[in-house]
Structure 1
Amino acid sequence: MERSTRWLIGESIVIVVLLGILGFLRFPLIFSYDVHKTIHIVGAVLFLGNIIVTGAWMLFAERNGGQAVLHFAAKTTNWADVFFTAPGVFLLVSNGFIMATTWGGFGASWVVAALVLLSLSGIVWVIFLIPDQERLIRYSMPPEKGGDEALLLRTLHRWYFWGAVATVLPLMSLGLMVLKPRLW
């Protein structure tokens, strides 16, 4: 398992534990509403920005380079998840829960729907994208080190599909957060 994936798993465990502690404390209001909203938006920017940009990186790497370029892009994608995606998710979710708990947001249908969409994106990330990112790194190695170009391209195209799903879902969530429609 790649070191970046081990970091990502550890980081995810820390995030779940911290969210659990915040939940046990009933998501206390630590800062003013405006500060929590700003942190929430920063989290959304880190999260969405990274998942969109890494898809573009991989596409450019496939179109313009060989296995060595794809190998670098795959490893970089994993580290970008460590430094941007996971922290972005923590800031987004923790501050979203704090604001929803404090201001009664869980009664609003758009908040619940947005949270469901974000959760579905996370499920896709854990079940499909992280394992495929591991495979991309392995298959993009030189052939003498176990690389396999056919498996690399098959995995990469599957990663594009699930990456698109995992990107569209939180973009829909973002739309709900901005528009705040009454859904039910």
Structure 2
Amino acid sequence: MPILESLHVAAGVLWLGNFVVTGIWATRAFRSGDERLRRFAVREILFTDMIFTLIFGTAVITTGLALASRLGIAPWQTLWTRDALAIAIGSGALWLAVLLPLEIQMERRARAGDDAALTRPFLAWSILGWTMTLALFTIIYLMLAKPV
């Protein structure tokens, strides 16, 4: 079980860490005003999200469900696991439905050299992304406090 717990925590750190770090460096790139840096940031947002959000977000959920099963916890009937799963799955759905299409849109515009058209989708991506990041921090609280 320590290996499964370690994988769960490591996946969570990488998943949430990607959100925070990407949000910071992407904002700095956009605020720089350097069009080359903005285009690079847009490409890297999509790249890092495909690795860290897709892989480690999935890993957090699957290892969490495996841990719940091993501990005899009914994940949808226990308050803290239910709420954590709802936030994690909801965040994943928001990423797939809204953030990923924005990332693809920004990447296409950057590739076409349409730098002026990057600001609006970046702002939407940033606002939704930071909101989702705050929600993910709630999962940490739920995992530690285990409210009933």
Q: Under a length normalisation based on structure 1, what TM-score does the superposition of the two structures give? A: 0.74
User: Which whole-Å deviations, capped at 9, do the CAs of 1:94-152 have from their partners, x for residues lacking one?
Assistant: 111111112122242101111001111111111111011111112234xxx35140x21
Match of 1:50 among 10, 15, 18: 18
Q: Which residue identity does 2:81 align to in structure 1?
A: V
Partner of 1:158: 124
Residues 1:88 and 2:56 are matched in the alignment? yes
- Which consecutive residues of structure 2, in runs of 5 or more, have no partner in the other structure? none
For 1:36 and 1:156, locate their aligned partners in 2 and report how far apart those are by CA, in whole Å: 36
Is the radius of gyration larger for structure 1 or structure 2? 1
For 1:83 and 1:124, locate their aligned partners in 2 and report how far apart those are by CA, in whole Å: 17
Match of 2:100 among 130, 153, 168: 130
| Residues 170-181 of structure 1 aligned to structure 2 (within 5 Å) | 170-181=136-147
Partner of 2:114: 147
For 1:172 and 1:162, locate their aligned partners in 2 and report how far apart those are by CA, in whole Å: 16
Residues 1:120 and 2:86 are matched in the alignment? no
- Which consecutive residues of structure 1, in runs of 5 or more, have no partner in the other structure? 1-32
For 1:117 and 1:50, locate their aligned partners in 2 and report how far apart those are by CA, in whole Å: 17
* Counterpart contact for 2:61–2:88, Cα < 8 Å: no
Q: Which residue identity does 2:114 align to in structure 1?
A: G
Q: Which has the higher contact order (CA 8 A, sep 6+)?
A: 2
* Counterpart contact for 1:122–1:166, Cα < 8 Å: no
How much identity, in percent, do the aligned residues show? 28
Moved over 4 A (4+): none
For 1:46 and 1:146, locate their aligned partners in 2 and report how far apart those are by CA, in whole Å: 32
For 1:78 and 1:65, locate their aligned partners in 2 and report how far apart those are by CA, in whole Å: 20
How many residues in Structure 1 have an aligned counterpart in Structure 2?
Answer: 146
Cα distance, 1:167 vs structure 2: 1.1
User: Which whole-Å deviations, capped at 9, do the CAs of 1:18-58 have from their partners, x for residues lacking one?
Assistant: xxxxxxxxxxxxxxx11111000011011001011111121
* Counterpart contact for 1:120–1:169, Cα < 8 Å: no
Q: Under a length normalisation based on structure 2, what TM-score does the superposition of the two structures give? A: 0.91
For 1:119 and 1:100, locate their aligned partners in 2 and report how far apart those are by CA, in whole Å: 16
For 1:140 and 1:68, locate their aligned partners in 2 and report how far apart those are by CA, in whole Å: 9
Cα distance, 1:169 vs structure 2: 1.6
